C-alpha cells in the first residue's frame, strides 16, 4: 500500500472517530434529578382581619401571610399523603415580634379572653379553581389586643404553625368585651 493511501485511510478513520464522539455527545440523554424540575405551582394565602363593635365594622386589614418551614413540610406531606392534618386552626397573638420562618408556634399565642386557637370553617371559593377560604369569628370575653395571626394544622396541642402574619402595632385590633374578631384566610393555588 502506498504511503499516501495509508495517510488517507488514517485521516478517514480519525475523522470518523471524531464525528462518532461528536454525535454521541449531541444525542446523549440529558438526565436531570427530580428535585431540579420546576412545576410552576404556588399557593398564596391572604388574611382579612375584621373587628366589629356592636355589629359595626371598626377596623379591617388585609395582608399576605408568610409560610413557616413547618408549613412547607406540612404542605409536602399533605400532597404526598404522609399527613392528613389540614391547615384549619386559626390563632391570635398580641406579640410584636417580626415573622420568623422557623416558628412552630406564634410567640405568646392568646389562650384567654375568648380568643384562643379555634377550628375554622373551610369553604370552597366559587370565584375560581384552586381558591378557598378558612374563616372563624371570635367574641372577646375581655379586653385584648391582637396583631399577629397564624394558621395551624392541629388544635391546642402541638407546635404546628404553618402560616403567620405580623400586621404590626399600626394595625392592632384593640378588642373590648363583646367585640368580635373575624379572620378569613383566602387561599389561591395556581
Do 181 and 131 touch, CB atoms closer than 8 A? no
Q: E-strand spans in the chain? A: 43-53, 56-64, 66-67, 89-93, 118-119, 121-124, 131-139, 144-146, 148-152, 161-166, 173-175, 180-189
The pLDDT tens digits of the residues spanning 140-159 come to: 999 999 999 999 999 976 78
* Reduced DSSP (H G I as helix, E B as strand, rest coil) percent helix, strand, coil of the chain, to 5: 20, 35, 40
Instruction: Please report the pLDDT score of residue 12 as a whole number.
Output: 57
Specify the length of the chain in residues. Answer: 190
Domain ranges of the chain: 3-34, 42-189
Instruction: Please report the pLDDT score of residue 104 as a whole number.
Output: 96
* SS3 (DSSP) at 109: strand
Residue 67 CB burial class (10 angstroms; 0-12, 13-18, ≥19): buried
Instruction: Please report the pLDDT score of residue 127 as a whole number.
Output: 83
Pick the closest to residue 153 from 114, 120, 107 (CA basis). 120
The pLDDT tens digits of the residues spanning 50-94 come to: 999 999 999 999 999 999 999 999 988 988 888 889 999 999 999
Question: Could you tell me the pTM of the whole model?
Answer: 0.77
pLDDT band at 27 (very low <50, low <70, confident <90, very high): very low
Amino acid at each position: 500500500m502506498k504511503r499516501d493511501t495509508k495517510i488517507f485511510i488514517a485521516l478517514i478513520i480519525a475523522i470518523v472517530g471524531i464525528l462518532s464522539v461528536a454525535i454521541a455527545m449531541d444525542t446523549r440523554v440529558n438526565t436531570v434529578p427530580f428535585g431540579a424540575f420546576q412545576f410552576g405551582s404556588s399557593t398564596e394565602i391572604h388574611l382579612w382581619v375584621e373587628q366589629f363593635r356592636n355589629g359595626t365594622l371598626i377596623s379591617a386589614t388585609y395582608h399576605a401571610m408568610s409560610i413557616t418551614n413547618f408549613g412547607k413540610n406540612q404542605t409536602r406531606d399533605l400532597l404526598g399523603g404522609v399527613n392528613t392534618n389540614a391547615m384549619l386552626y386559626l390563632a391570635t397573638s398580641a406579640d410584636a415580634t417580626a415573622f420568623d420562618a422557623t416558628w412552630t408556634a406564634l410567640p405568646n399565642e392568646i389562650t384567654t379572653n375568648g380568643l384562643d386557637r379555634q377550628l375554622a370553617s373551610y369553604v370552597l371559593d366559587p370565584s375560581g379553581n384552586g381558591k378557598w377560604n378558612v374563616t372563624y369569628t371570635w367574641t372577646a370575653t375581655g379586653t385584648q389586643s391582637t396583631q399577629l395571626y397564624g394558621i395551624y394544622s392541629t388544635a391546642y396541642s402541638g407546635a404546628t404553625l404553618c402560616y403567620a402574619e405580623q400586621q404590626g402595632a399600626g394595625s392592632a385590633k384593640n378588642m373590648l368585651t363583646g367585640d368580635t374578631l373575624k379572620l378569613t384566610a383566602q387561599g389561591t393555588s395556581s
